[in-house]
Amino acid sequence: MDTGESVRITLRSIRAHKLRSALTVIGVVIGIASVITFATFGASVEAEIVGDIETSNAGNIYVFGTPADDDDFDRTLQPVFTEYDIQQLERIAGVEAVLPRGIVQTQSIQHGDQTLARQQVTATRPASFTQNVLVEGRSFEADEEAVVVNERMAGSFSENLTAGERLTMTMPDGSERNVTVVGVVNGTRGEVPVSEFARQPRVYVPIDPFYDSVVESPSAGVRQRAYPQVTLVVDPRAIPETQSAIQTYLSGESDARSLSADDTELVARSGNDFVEEISDVIERITRFVTGIAVIALVVGAIGIANVMLVSVTERTREIGIMKAVGARNRDVMQVFLVEAALLGTLGSLLGVPLGLLVGYGATRYAEVTFSLAPLWMALAVGVGVLVGVVAGLYPAWRAARVDPIDALRYE
């Protein structure tokens, strides 16, 4: 029996049981759509985050300490990079700017009659803000009683903050400092890579007069300001060489090495390093969640196997007639395998657009750019067809073993 004849018999059987076939196909459709939805959403989130990081942090190298115990977050924020270290880092070939960052503790920030508690305040240099990150206003100047806020912080109040408005910062000792908002930004040059939709409300202040964390410099022998993290803006064409030189200094005679615990590693990470790590995490999550969605495909396979077994029982007399007129066991098996494969293929073809539609809706809700996952789409369709074939193997084998004499007697 040729394949065309098997397809005609299969289509006739499907038309004869439209509702049953439709319900069977729905199981595969849901499985395929689930896989494509999760894969597409994961690819979209990854593309959004990686795109943000690559665009805004291409020439940055981030210097910080990482303790052996990953849970010891407080030690990560220990101020160990002294002004002496800053000066030495500025002398390294390829370094265009050094932007130290420190944390200023506050109890609250007040604007009008609205108060926000425990907002993160970061002390940094005016060079952290270039013209392309300014949404409104300007950067603060050194020694100025002024702040710059990011867009998330500006929108945290009932009335959006704008340049020229006043804030009241309550310090840990209860004293208050009145400051002027001089600018609103959408990021900084010294910020550790993070996607736009993951940014937290931030307030930035000049190092002097707000930041006062000091330690005694082992190299200079005097008390100096020290910072928990430093960002270096470097020539993008010389990142590997510059990163290596920075790492060599940190591991050698730097103040940070002397002030850090023995099990704390001082690292210099480029924006590309963060991109690779973040991409790896997102891919693992996508694979895990998509793997769960594959369970729906297993349910669809069980549905196809069940329907095919019922079909074998219903068509026992038909099988007997086919064999009586010369059909071989492999011909009978082919008919049922084609029907199972056709159900799986139909479910796959319907599941792809549905999965893309739901995935697109999810990306609109999350406000990320929609991106396709071609590999997952092809894999999902292939698995859908394979599910149909595998689910039809036993019913087809069972149909092929039907005795033609008993089949003709079957009522």
How many structural domains comprise the chain?
Answer: 2
Taking the C-alpha atoms of residue 52 and residue 196, their distance in angstroms, rounded to an integer, is 7
Burial 22-59 (b: 16+ CB within 10 A, else e): eebbebbbbbbbbbbbbbbbbbbbbbbbbbbbeebbeb
* CB-CB contact of 274 with 192 (8 Å): yes
Residue 109 burial (CB count, 10 A): 24
Structure tokens at 387: 């599910």
Picking from 259, 285, 314, the residue at the C-terminal end of a domain is: 259
Q: Select the more confidently predicted residue: 9 or 31.
A: 31
Pair (158, 31) in one structural domain: no
Distance of CA 292 to CAs 50, 234, 312, 338, 376, Å?
A: 25, 43, 32, 28, 14
Same domain flag for 26 and 126: no
Domain check: are 135 and 223 in the same one?
Answer: yes
Q: How far apart are CA 16 and CA 57, in angstroms?
A: 62
**DSSP, res 130:** -
Distance CA 265, CA 250 (A): 9
Assigned domain for 326 exists: yes
How do 203-206 and 146-150 pair as beta strands? antiparallel
**Domain assignment of residue 67, yes or no:** no
pLDDT, tens only, 60-118: 889 988 886 655 555 567 899 999 999 999 999 999 999 999 999 999 999 988 999 88
pLDDT digits 0-9 by tens, 278-299 = 788 888 888 888 787 778 777 7
Q: Is residue 267 part of a domain?
A: no
Q: Is residue 162 part of a domain?
A: yes
Domain final residue pick, 259, 290, 315: 259
Are 115 and 231 in the same domain? yes
375 within domain boundaries: yes
Domain identity same for 220 and 300: no
Q: Are residues 290 and 405 in the same domain?
A: yes
Sign of CA dihedral 137, 138, 140, 141: negative
- What single-letter amino acid sits at 114? Q
User: What pLDDT band is residue 30 in, cutting at 50, 70 and 90?
Assistant: confident
| Tokens describing residue 394 | 């036993």
Do both 89 and 235 map to the same domain?
Answer: yes
Residues 160 and 27 in one domain: no
Q: Which domain holds residue 155?
A: 79-259
105 and 208 part of one domain = yes
Q: Are residues 284 and 255 in the same domain?
A: no
In tens, the pLDDT along 252-271 reads 889 999 999 888 889 898 87
Same-domain check for residues 251 and 285: no
Domain match, 126 and 248 both = yes
